[in-house]
Amino acid sequence: MNPTTTRFVFECTDCGQSYHPEEVLYLCPVCSRDNTAGQPPRGVLKTLYDYHAIRLKIRNPDRALKHLKANSFSPLLPLRDSRSWPPLRVGDTPLYRTSRLDGNKLPFELFLKDDSQNPTFSFKDRASALVSAHAKERGLAVIVAASTGNAGSSIAGICAAQGQQAVVLVPEKAPLGKLTQIGFYGACLVPVRGTYDEAFELSIEASNAFGWYNRNTAYNPLTIEGKKTVSLELALQLPGQVPDRIFVPAGDGVILSGVYKGFEDLLQLGIIDKMPVVVAVQSDGSDNLIRNLDSEVFRIRASKTLADSISVDVPRNFLMARQFMHRYGGEGLVVTDQDILDASSRLSRNTGLFTEPASAAAFAGFLSYYRRERLEEGSVNVVLLTGSGLKDLQAVQQGLQVPAAIEPGLDGLKRIWERHPRRE
C-alpha cells in the first residue's frame, strides 16, 4: 500500500479493496451489500498509512516515539490539522504500577491504565474525539450514535466542547447515571425500546435519511483509530518494553481491535519488534465474541450481564477482532458476573481505583490468570481500566454492606471498628 494523494487509505478487512477518503465512508460498499441482521457486519474498514514515508521522516527509531508524541501522533491519525481536536485533554491517562495484591508481593510487573481520567470518565473519549475532529474538518455539525451509555455520554460531552450537536440513541434500560451525563451535555437523548442492536440499526437509518455523521463503533472506521492511541501511549509509558500481556474488556471488539491496531502500526514502523498477547475478557452472560472465535457459523446467544457496556448480542467488529486474535495469538477468557463484582471490590481495596463492571471485567481476567499461575515471573502485564465506577453505581451497590447507624458515642464506633477487616 502506497497512498500518494493522501496520507492514509481505508482497506476492507474482507476483500482487501482500498478506498481513498474523499467522501464520508463507513463500510466497504461491496462487501456490506451482503450484510444481514443478526450477523456481524462484513466490510469493516481498516485505516492504513504510508509507513515507509513515516519511517523516512522519523529516521532515528530510538527517537520515533517522542517524535510521534511531539506531533500528537498526527502521522498515524487521519486528520489534516491538529487544531481540529476538541479543546479537552483526551488520552495521556495515567499508568499506575502495582507491586502488591492483598498484602502479597507480586512476582511480576502489573500496570493499570486508568482511562476513567478522560473528560467523560471513559475510554470512549478516544474514539469520540477523533470522530468529532474529523467531522469538524468535513463541516459536519450533527453526530449520531447508538450507545448503552458510555459512548453516548462521550460523544455528547465532546460535541459540547466542540460546539457540535449530538444525537444519542440508547436502549430504554440504559443506566440512569450515564443518561444523566448525556442529558446534561445537551445532546438529543432518544431512548429506544429494545436492545443496543436495535438502537444501532436505527442510528444508521438516521444517518442515511438526515445526513448526520455516524459515530458507531466499527461502523465508523475512525473509532478504531481513536482507540488505538492507548497502545501508542503504553509504548511511551513503558519505554523499551512491550507488555507481555494486556487484559482488555470485550463487547463489540473495537477496543480489542484498537489495541492491536496501535501496536501493529508500531510494528510497521519498526519501533517495536513483537506484539503483546492481548487477552479479551467477556462476561459469561455476554460472550458472543469469544464463543464464536473458532466457529464457522456465527451463533448468537442473548446477552444478560450486569456489565452493560460489554453486553452485546452482535459484536460489530467481530470479524476484524478475530483476524487480529488469530494473526497475533490473542487469548479469550470468560468470567462470571460475580467474578466481575469481586474484581471491582478487590481492585478498589488494593489500589484506590474505582471502576465500572465492564471495566472490572479486565481485572477479573487478570485475577483468573494470576490464580491459575499463568503469569510468568518477571513478566510485564497491563490491565485496561476503561470507565469510572461512578458510571454505574447501581450495578455494584449489591456488594456494599453499610452498617446500621450508631448512637454518637465511642462504644458503637469501637464495635464497628473491631468488626472491620484489617489491612495486612
Q: Is residue 381 part of a domain?
A: yes
The domain that holds 376 is classified in CATH as 3.40.50.1100
Residue ranges making up the domain that contains 319: 95-120+223-399
Return the pLDDT at 1.
41
Calpha distance 123→159 (Å, rounded):
16
Residue tagged 475478557 (cell numbers): 281
Q: Is residue 283 part of a domain?
A: yes
Return the pLDDT at 308.
83
pLDDT in tens, the chain (424 residues): 444 446 899 999 999 999 988 788 999 999 999 899 889 999 999 999 999 999 888 877 667 888 888 778 889 999 989 899 999 999 999 999 999 999 999 999 999 999 999 999 999 999 999 999 999 999 999 999 998 778 999 999 999 999 999 999 998 877 777 788 899 999 999 999 988 788 989 999 999 999 999 999 989 999 999 999 999 999 999 988 899 999 999 999 999 999 999 999 999 999 999 999 999 999 999 999 999 999 989 999 999 998 988 988 899 999 999 999 999 999 999 999 999 999 999 999 999 999 999 999 999 999 999 999 999 999 999 999 999 988 777 776 666 777 788 788 899 889 888 887 766 5
Return the pLDDT at 130.
97
Return the pLDDT at 4.
42
Question: What is the total count of domains within the chain?
Answer: 1
Cα–Cα distances (Å) from 240 to 65, 170, 206, 228, in that order, read 11, 42, 46, 19
Q: Is residue 165 part of a domain?
A: no
All residues at 6 or more sequence positions from 2 whose CB lies less than 8 Å from its CB, including other chains: 50, 52
Q: Is residue 240 part of a domain?
A: yes
Return the pLDDT at 402.
78
Calpha distance 69→233 (Å, rounded):
8
First to last CA, the chain: 57
Q: Is residue 205 part of a domain?
A: no
Angle 280-123-315 from CA coordinates, rounded to 5°:
45
DSSP structure string for 283-321: ETTS-HHHHTTT-SS--------S-GGG--SS-TTHHHH
Q: Which amino acid is at 415?
A: R
Return the pLDDT at 198.
87
What b/e sequence results for 224-248 when a residue is b if at least 16 CB atoms lie within 10 Å of its CB, and e otherwise?
bbbbbbbbbbbbebbeeebbbbbbb
Return the pLDDT at 418.
87
What is the pTM assigned to this prediction? Answer: 0.93
Calpha distance 356→331 (Å, rounded):
23
Q: Is residue 204 part of a domain?
A: no
Return the pLDDT at 71.
79
Return the pLDDT at 2.
43
